[in-house]
Amino acid sequence: MAPNYPRIRIQGTLRSESYGFERVGGELVKKVREHVDERVLARDVVRIIFFLPHDHHHLTAGVTHALDTYLRAIDGRPGALSKYTHCWWEPFALTETGWAHIRETLEPKEPRFFEDYEPDDARFAHKDGADPYFTLFGEQGNGYSFSYHARLPWREPPPSSVSVLSATLPTEYLEEHGAHHVRELAMAMASRLPFATGHAGLALYLWHPIYEQLDRLRTEIFRHPGFDVRRATHFDGMGTRVDGIHWLNFLGPPVLSQLGGAAGLRAHLHSPITTVQELEGERAVVTLGEAPEAGDLEQGQTLPAYHELARVLEPDMEPFPWGFLARKSPSVEEELRRWWRRFLD
Residues facing 44 on adjacent strands: 204
Q: Do 40 and 141 contact (CB within 8 A), yes or no?
A: yes
What is the model's pLDDT at position 193?
A: 98
Read off the pLDDT of residues 253-312 as tens digits, 9 standing for 90 and up: 999 999 999 999 999 999 999 999 999 999 999 999 999 999 999 999 999 999 999 999
pTM (2 decimals)? 0.90
For a pLDDT cut of 70, what percent of the chain falls above it? Answer: 92
Q: CA-CA distance, 263 to 284, in Å (whole number)? A: 10
Phi/psi for 183 (5° steps) reads -65, -45
DSSP-derived pairing of the beta strands 83-86 and 27-52: unpaired
Q: Which residue has the higher pLDDT, 73 or 79?
A: 73
Task: Name the E strands within 161-196.
Answer: 163-170
Each domain of the chain, given as residue ranges in start order, spans: 38-340
Residue 230: pLDDT over 70: yes
- 107-146: pLDDT as tens digits: 887 776 666 666 555 555 555 556 788 999 998 789 999 9
Q: Which of 96, 152, 104, 100 is nearest to 126 (CA)?
A: 152
Alpha-helix runs per DSSP H in 19-152:
60-73, 96-105, 119-122
Q: Assess contact for 229 and 205: CB atoms under 8 A.
A: no
Phi, psi of 240, rounded to the nearest 5 degrees? -100, 15
Radius of gyration of the chain (CA): 20
CB 305 within 8 A of CB 288: yes
- pLDDT-above-90 percentage for the chain: 71
